[in-house]
Structure 1
Amino acid sequence: MDVLLGLTPDGAADAEESERLTIRLRAEVRRLDIYTLQVLADGAPPECAKAVDPVTAGAVVLALSAPSGVLTSLVGLLQDWLGRQSAGHRVSVTIDSDTLELEQATPEERRQLIEAFVRRHGAGGE
């Protein structure tokens, strides 16, 4: 399953801070059971997506492995990572044309969004 992961730093983040955020997030994602992790050049369209938002920094394409729970683990990792950040960054997860935006929301709202997204892609896609 190919997954497009996008990081949109808080509007106050400069280019250097955006790069540091991207590197830290990629380092954490690499710990998951993934086949490949490809960092996209700015504006380069990934093979798994029809278009990339040009303002999205740190776009990464992941090829998740087959074991059950990898998508759930990825979304949980992203949620945890966002929770540890002091600024209002946003992370998006796209599979095919379905995108989950993780940003500031109540824990309950975020849990419901994540559960629905994983249900749509988890059972047959992992």
Structure 2
Amino acid sequence: MRVLLVVATDPEADESETERLVRRLRSEVDELDVDSVRPLPAGSMPDGAKGADPVTVGALMVALSASGGVFSTLIGALSAWLERQSGRHRITVTIGGDSIELERATAAEQKALIEAYVRRHSGSASTSGSASASGSASASGSASASGSASGGPAD
């Protein structure tokens, strides 16, 4: 399974901080039981990928085996990474055209959103669709979860 991660950092972060954040995330993902993690050069985003905006600085392609719960471990690690950051960063996760955008959110919002996304991709077939972050989930399969406007971490 190939997973595209697109990191969009806080607009107030300078270039060196942004590069440091993406390197640190890549290092943390590489410590998981993934097959590989590699950066994608600028302008090489796959068709259907979300996140190509001016503050997007890092795209990582992660290859994982389809077994052993590695995907749910990856999503949990991304959520934990976001919670540890002081800025308003987000990570868009895309598998076969189906995307979820992770931001700081309440634990309950993130859990519901992530569980739905992981369920969709735990089987062998991937489905088309999109999930983004806004605090609610609908029966149509699109979901959203975002943190408060103050940017404070959720408990």
Q: TM-score, normalised on structure 1? A: 0.90
Computed over aligned residues only, the root mean square deviation of the Cα atoms, in angstroms, reads 1.5
Equivalent in the alignment of 1:115: 115
Aligned-pair CA distance for 1:95? 0.4
Unaligned runs of 5+ in 1: none
Question: Paired residue for 1:21?
Answer: 21
CA contact (8 A) 1:44 1:52 kept: no
Give the deviation of 1:97 after TM superposition: 0.8
Show the counterpart of 2:90: 90
Whichever residue aligns with residue 18 of structure 2, its letter is S
Cα 1:31–1:82 shift into 2, 3 Å: same
More helix per residue: 1 or 2? 1
Query: Which stretch shifts more, 22-31 or 51-60?
Result: 51-60
Runs of at least 4 residues off by over 4 Å = none
> Which AA in structure 1 matches 2:62?
L
How do residues 62-73 of structure 1 correspond to structure 2 at under 5 angstroms? 62-73=62-73
Greater RCO (CA < 8 Å, at least 6 residues apart): 1
Which structure: larger Rg? Answer: 2
Distance (Å, rounded) in 1 between the aligned partners of 2:43 and 2:51: 8
Correspondence for 2:31 = 31
Letter in 2 for 1:39: P
Cα distance per residue 1:80-123 (max 9 Å; x no partner): 11111111110111001111111022111110000000000013
Runs of 5+ unmatched residues, structure 2? 126-155
The count of residues paired between Structure 1 and Structure 2 equals 123
The alignment's TM-score, normalised by the length of structure 2, stands at 0.74
> What is the CA-CA distance between 1:34 and the residue it aligns to?
1.6
Give the Å deviation of 1:51: 4.2
Which residue in 2 is equivalent to 1:9?
A: 9
Q: CA deviation at 1:54?
A: 2.8
In 2, the alpha carbon distance for the partners of 1:29 and 1:82 equals: 13
What's the secondary structure of 2:120's corresponding residue?
A: helix
TM alignment of 1:23-62, pairs within 5 A: 23-46=23-46, 49-51=47-49, 53-55=51-53, 56-62=56-62
Counting aligned pairs with the same residue, the percent is 48
Corresponding position of 1:100 = 100
